[in-house]
Amino acid sequence: MSETRMFTGIAAAPGIAIGEAFLLDEEDFCVVEVKIPETEIKKEISRYKEALNKTHQEMEATRNKIDSLLGKEYGRLAEAYQVILDDPIFNRDVIKKISSGVNAEYALYRIMEQVVKSFDLIEDEYFRERKHDIQDVGKRIMRHLIGPMRHSLAEINKPVVVVARNITPADTLTIHEGTIQGFVTDMGGKTSHAAILSQTLGIPAVVGLRNITATVKSGEMIILDGNQGIVIVNPSQEVLLNYQREKEIELKTSQELEKLRDLPAQTRDGTRFILAANIDNPQEAKLVLRYGGEGIGLYRTEFLYFNRTDLPSENEHYENYRQVARKMLPYRVIVRTVDIGGDKIASLGGMDLPPERNPFMGLRGIRLCLRYPEFFKVQLRAILRASAEGRLGIMYPMISGVEEFLAANRILAEVKEELRQRKIPFDENIPVGAMIEVPSAAMTADIIARQADFLSIGTNDLIQYTLAVDRVNENVADIYEPLHISILRLLKKIIDAGHNAGKKVTMCGEMAADPNFTAVLIGLGLDEFSVSPPAVPKIKRTIRSLELVEAQKLAEEIFNAPSRDIIIQQIKQFHIRQT
Amino acid sequence: MIEKEVVLRGIDGLHLRPAGVFVRLAAGFKSEIKILCGDQLVDGKSMLGLLTLGITSGTKFKLIISGEDEEQAMETLIKLIERNFENE
């Protein structure tokens, strides 16, 4: 048995897979030009047409399957492939080429080459990359001309881990349900086709491994750890046992959590909480629904500014918000206005701002937006326009006092007036909240709560700023403590301030996603939680295991505790009592 | 022959899915359907043709249709674009 090898890639879809490797090798057709005598051309054309027909049948046969397996969105992608197959390039140009006296394979090969060349000239990356889809359709026809060259996913009838250069939409058409344990690919990132597909199917995947296909052989034992982005080939008995155990635990938990999806986030004594989710991009909205999130409590909009060289247009903003608003109906989606620093804006050709020495405390978030109202208005206009098509809310990040909140609202009012005059519809009553993540805002939350429609506590920054701890700095990370008495006091202050003004208080920081803190938070009176989509079920389970009265007692107890150690002790004891 | 200029709005670009919907619909008409974008003229019934135009949000292009059902084809396709390529 050969030695154990380990690879690290991008964790694209969570979960653990263990199984034999099935290598899906790159197809390399060796196409030779053969002269076809005039008398044989007719026959050659009909041979090509037959291959086209077979490809057609193949696609047709799997199209309904993809609808039921992956949903309508993918179904339409499968349709797009069929439309490519119907293209005059395949129906007319290739046949014309064959008529000039060459074999079908060579004619197809040459025409494909031309198409790919013309696609390479396209500036827009999305369109340029579509050549892979077209090549894929070409290969399917070629396969029917030459005969099977490549192993296809359709041949798989036992549980395996698929190792491939890349996974294309067409590959997925032929999957037999339940046979594929996981995907391991050379190419791709977190949003590549393989990643989205695996997430949709709930199959673990590690992508972006560069050239794992060159080093793995079919039949080798593989462990795929989609949680950490690790692939282990030929694991030792010990590692294998460990992972098998972990996989069993994972399976059991996910089955339990699945059952929770359609149940309310409600305590044993019947108090309901809203359990929403945080997202970083529109694609994640479907994950929220899958995990049973009731809305989006934090839609981060920074993604619009990454990986590009210019500022996003109003329409780009609009399209992204509208999509999520519609998808999430009847639930609410809270869009957080952009929280980026000046350096980012400068690099996108916006205002010319010099780099700052301490950007965390610099011109960022609402400060930047207030300084450059025209820049801010682009986003506000887009959010308002999208609010006509769903239930949206707005919240401002990095508010340090009520003045900033009011100033932002004045700009919002201007934009609303402008839209009214242009007769563009929007939600007149769109709720507007303040993120409470700066200690000065927490201390004056009562004043802000009178002006805002809701408060949303961002614990990551609040803790960091209150304790003066950079939590990614290893030297001080142990001082970062969500249960520090100062934090508990601030939380209580914020929640009480909200309630006194008759406003809801929600939390969207990581503290909300840690089940160890859930009891304390509902005990303190928090109304809503917003957590990463995969954390929704476990927080729901925790809420469902609690009694509100007990949680309130706990909050009271620890609130008067003299030290952090005692607080931690008390929470531990509480959890033992509850289970 | 009739022609009409349109601007793509509401979607990011004439990507695989919307292009597929367009071509499918276009193929149902007898008329010849061409799309002119910049100085590129392509067959509106060809997916590859459409894709090579690389039409992104905000891009202007022209529909040029000629044939017996040109009026109906124009109306149907314009409506599709206005519907953001959602199937009815």
Mean pLDDT for chain A overall: 87
Mean pLDDT score, A95-110? 92
Cβ neighbors of A316 (< 8 A, separation 6 or more) are A304, A382, B12, B57
Tokens 């209150």 — which residue? A466
Are A169 and A81 in contact by the 8 Å Cβ rule? The answer is: yes
Q: Which of B19, B48, B57 sits opposite A89 (nearest CB)?
A: B48
Question: What is the third-level CATH fold of A38-146?
Answer: Enzyme I; Chain A, domain 2 (1.10.274)
A89 contacts B57? CB cut-off 8 A? no
Tokens 């508010």 — which residue? A399
Residue A476 has pLDDT above 60, yes or no: yes
Tokens 């051309």 — which residue? A41
Greater pLDDT, A171 or A398: A398
Q: How far is CA A341 from CA A31, A358, A365, A433, in A?
A: 54, 10, 7, 21
Mean pLDDT score, B48-77? 91
- When pLDDT is cut at 50, 70 and 90, the band that residue A327 belongs to is very high
Looking at B1-88, which runs of residues are DSSP E strands?
A: 2-7, 32-37, 40-43, 60-66
Mean pLDDT score, A294-313? 86
Greater pLDDT, A18 or A475: A18
B17 contacts A77? CB cut-off 8 A? yes
Residue A133 has pLDDT above 70, yes or no: yes
Tokens 């006091």 — which residue? A489
Mean pLDDT score, A183-207? 78
Mean pLDDT score, B41-67? 89
What residues are paired with A163 via a beta bridge?
Answer: A23, A184
Residue A27 has pLDDT above 60, yes or no: no
- Residue A221, pLDDT score: 93
- Residue A398, pLDDT score: 95
Q: Which residue of A has its CA nearest to B52?
A: A119
Tokens 């008390």 — which residue? A570
Nearest-neighbour CA in chain A from B55: distance (Å): 8
Residue A423 has pLDDT above 70, yes or no: yes
B47 contacts A86? CB cut-off 8 A? yes
B interface test, pick of A87, A90, A93 with most B CB neighbours within 10 Å: A87
**Active-site residue among A144, A317, A369, A508?**
A508
- When pLDDT is cut at 50, 70 and 90, the band that residue A127 belongs to is confident
Mean pLDDT score, A427-441? 97
| Catalytic residue list contains A30 | no
Could you report the per-residue pLDDT of A498-507, keeping only the tens digit for each?
999 999 999 9
What residues are paired with A180 via a beta bridge?
Answer: A160
A439-579 CATH:
3.20.20.60
What residues are paired with A5 via a beta bridge?
Answer: A233
Mean pLDDT score, B23-44? 91
Greater pLDDT, A320 or A211: A320
Could you report the per-residue pLDDT of A229-288, keeping only the tens digit for each?
999 999 999 999 999 999 998 888 777 777 888 889 999 999 999 999 998 888 788 889
| Catalytic residue list contains A508 | yes
- When pLDDT is cut at 50, 70 and 90, the band that residue A560 belongs to is confident
- Residue A210, pLDDT score: 83
Cβ neighbors of A174 (< 8 A, separation 6 or more) are A62, A152, A153, A154
Nearest-neighbour CA in chain A from B3: distance (Å): 22
Domain boundaries, chain A: 5-26+151-239, 38-146, 300-430, 439-579
- When pLDDT is cut at 50, 70 and 90, the band that residue A411 belongs to is very high
- Residue A429, pLDDT score: 95
A123 contacts B10? CB cut-off 8 A? no
Q: Which residue of A has its CA nearest to B9?
A: A315
- Residue A107, pLDDT score: 93
Task: List CB contacts (< 8 A) between A122 and chain B.
Answer: 52, 54
Tokens for A511?
Answer: 């503290």
Intrachain domains A38-146 and A300-430 with the same fold: no
Task: List CB contacts (< 8 A) between B57 and chain A.
Answer: 313, 315-316, 319
Mean pLDDT score, A69-82? 72
Give pTM, 2 decimals: 0.59
Comparing A86-90, A392-396, B66-70, which segment has the lowest mean pLDDT?
A86-90
- When pLDDT is cut at 50, 70 and 90, the band that residue B21 belongs to is confident
- C-alpha–C-alpha distance, residues B33 and B64, integer Å: 6
B54 contacts A122? CB cut-off 8 A? yes
Residue A28 has pLDDT above 80, yes or no: no
Three-state DSSP at A118 gives helix
Architecture of the structural domain at A300-430: Alpha-Beta Barrel (3.20)
A interface test, pick of B14, B52, B80, B87 with most A CB neighbours within 10 Å: B52
Tokens for A183?
Answer: 């995907």
Nearest-neighbour CA in chain B from A408: distance (Å): 27
Q: Which of B13, B27, B47 sits opposite A84 (nearest CB)?
A: B47
Q: Which of B12, B20, B27 sits opposite A80 (nearest CB)?
A: B20
- When pLDDT is cut at 50, 70 and 90, the band that residue A366 belongs to is very high
Tokens for A295?
Answer: 């809305």
Residue B78 has pLDDT above 90, yes or no: yes
Q: Which of B9, B49, B54 sits opposite A124 (nearest CB)?
A: B54
Residue A419 has pLDDT above 80, yes or no: yes
| Domain A5-26+151-239 homologous superfamily, CATH | Phosphohistidine domain (3.50.30.10)
Residue A534 has pLDDT above 90, yes or no: no
Residue A73 has pLDDT above 90, yes or no: no
Residue A452 has pLDDT above 90, yes or no: yes
Q: Identify the sign of the CA torsion A472, A476, A478, A479.
A: negative
Task: List CB contacts (< 8 A) between A321 and chain B.
Answer: none
Could you report the per-residue pLDDT of A148-180, keeping only the tens digit for each?
555 666 667 678 899 988 876 656 656 666 688
What residues are paired with A161 via a beta bridge?
Answer: A21, A182
Residue A144 has pLDDT above 90, yes or no: no
B16 contacts A88? CB cut-off 8 A? no
- Residue A307, pLDDT score: 63
